[in-house]
Amino acid sequence: MRRARTFGVLGVAVLAAGVLAACGGDDDSDSEATTDTTSTAPAMTETAPAEGPLAGVPAPSGGSSTGTQSIPEGGELASYDTLATPQEVVDTYETELEKSGWEIVGGDAGGQGAGGTGLQATMGDRYLSIDAGETAVGSTFVSVCGWPEEPSTPQCTPIDQGSTTTDG
């Protein structure tokens, strides 16, 4: 009977040590693991279309794709939903696009929805428009539109007829 009790106490001690280690309770002050809690802006995902008007334009990180569709004048629209604010989305796009060689040519397109904002950018002949706005359920929609050249009407809005939609 004593042997079973020793095993029980030993098992509890091993379990407690495992939980403590899993929770980071080893109090190693020279540990190099740090957490940055100051940044709330979403990063961009590494994946971007390889070809077409949106080639090289990343999707917002932490968001989910709600589909793509062809839009007038040879353009393409990619739609996303994210928990980042519209301003965080646009600020992050501005930073990342400039790093990739895009020139920001306009901003605050108004976006659709509450708190909407946006930006426009060019790279050579290519033209890009991004709109972000709040949804009724508290998330942010993001519309990313690209054209091979500046369109006569650069509106980045989904269309219902005459489009090809694919869910992403």
Q: CATH number, domain at 157?
A: 3.30.310
Q: What is the pLDDT of residues 95-147, one digit of tens each?
A: 999 999 999 999 875 555 566 899 999 999 999 999 999 998 989 999 999 99
Give the global pTM: 0.66
Q: Is residue 6 part of a domain?
A: no
* Domain count within the chain: 1
Confidence of residue 76 (pLDDT cuts 50, 70, 90): very high
SS (H, E, C) the chain: CHHHHHHHHHHHHHHHHHHHHHCCCCCCCCCCCCCCCCCCCCCECCCCCCCCCCCCCCCECCCEEEEEEEECCCEEEEEEEECCCHHHHHHHHHHHHHHCCCEEEEECCCCCCEEEEEEEEEECCEEEEEEEEECCCCCEEEEEEEECCCCCCCCCCCCCCCCCEECC
Note down the domain range covering 104.
64-166
Lowest mean pLDDT among 73-77, 89-93, 106-110, 145-149: 106-110
